[in-house]
Amino acid sequence: MIDVLIVDDSALIRHQLRLILQSDDALQIVGEARNGEEAVALTKRLKPDVITMDLQMPKMDGLAAIQHIMAECPTPIVVVTGAEPDRDAALLEQVTKSGAVMTIYKSSSVGGQRLVAEQLIKQVKLMSQVRVIKRPLRHQSPPYAPVSIPAPPVGHFSGKIKLLAIGSSTGGPAALYKILGQLPANLTVPVVIVQHISFGFVGGLAGWLNGGSQLTVKVAEHGERLQAGTVLLAPDDHHLLVDSFGRVRLQAGEAVGGHIPSVTVLFDSVAQAYGAAAVGVILTGMGRDGADGLKAMRDKGAVTIAQDEGSCVVFGMPKEAIRLGAAVHVVPLDKIAEKVTAVCCAELETVS
């Protein structure tokens, strides 16, 4: 049985969430909180497996509550909010940085409410398996301050590597922030990324990542040319592919392995278009998306990297890639940027 704590200042919303969650026999509600202060206290006392968290509440809001919970009693948190991804992007970025593992948006339409209910049950069950880590409060030390690796001299790149492709899911935004914040400004390869994220939030994610990196981070557009020093994120509901002419292709259609965009679809296209002239990185995430694609890249001679278990929020996608023999290197999060920089500089032997 999965124990769930519901946090929302609205009695009506708490009642609705209770009805939704109790409709699944695997879930039980162990408590309800009306504000962030109650949420922190109940989390310490009840030790739930998962928390559903509203953001806009009196006394202590959801963001502050998440920060206190992740600092004092780390617990998987699914944010259930009426905030709008475009209008409230800055707030939702802070939520991601603070350690919430998933965001679901409330809907006023009947069809939308049904979809939210399905997503909520699914995500609460998935998040109960997530291993979260303690994060210091903001007045202590910034959890994701970028620490730049010294940039190699201009012109030092060998030109052997032409593209860096990254795939991530649960826990990925924070991992991407760290990696992109450490890559040098004169990295002479383009970067393409598939990150599983709630619909409507990719633009806010791109803005947040751009603010913490020396590279330019944006959402990919169909037909866009790949450029050195530019990071392109897959948009909502489209697979991101690359071709041998150095252009992006966005593809609508069916989910692959349950995902659109799919990491494997990206990696497969990189394997076909770039072969050994690419680097593939698979980061924290639930499931196995990207494992087969990373294996395709390795089979073509690409350098492939998986995040190690100790630094993953969820060791699902990297574990599957490692099990397939798809990863040439297994690297902790704080060393991945250094490894990537070394590979692109043809100095892999200098990195332990």
Residue 274 and residue 280 in contact, taking contact as beta carbons nearer than 8 Å: no
Residue 196 and residue 175 in contact, taking contact as beta carbons nearer than 8 Å: no
Q: Find the catalytic residue in 9, 289, 292, 308.
A: 289
Residue 337 Cα distances to 52, 289, 309, angstroms: 33, 22, 17
> Helical H runs in 73-228?
89-98, 110-127, 172-182, 202-211
Left (φ > 0), alpha (ψ -120 to 50) or beta: where does 99 sit? left
Q: Phi and psi for 269 in degrees, rounded to 5? A: -70, -35
Closest residue by Cα to residue 101 from 131, 77, 73, 136: 77
Q: Find the catalytic residue in 68, 196, 259, 329.
A: 196
Q: Is 196 a catalytic residue?
A: yes
Q: Is 289 a catalytic residue?
A: yes
Q: Find the catalytic residue in 168, 169, 213, 269.
A: 169
Residue 59 and residue 37 in contact, taking contact as beta carbons nearer than 8 Å: yes
Q: Is 139 a catalytic residue?
A: no
Closest residue by Cα to residue 66 from 92, 42, 36, 41: 36
Residue 2 and residue 28 in contact, taking contact as beta carbons nearer than 8 Å: yes
3 state DSSP class of 279: strand
Active site residues: 169, 196, 289
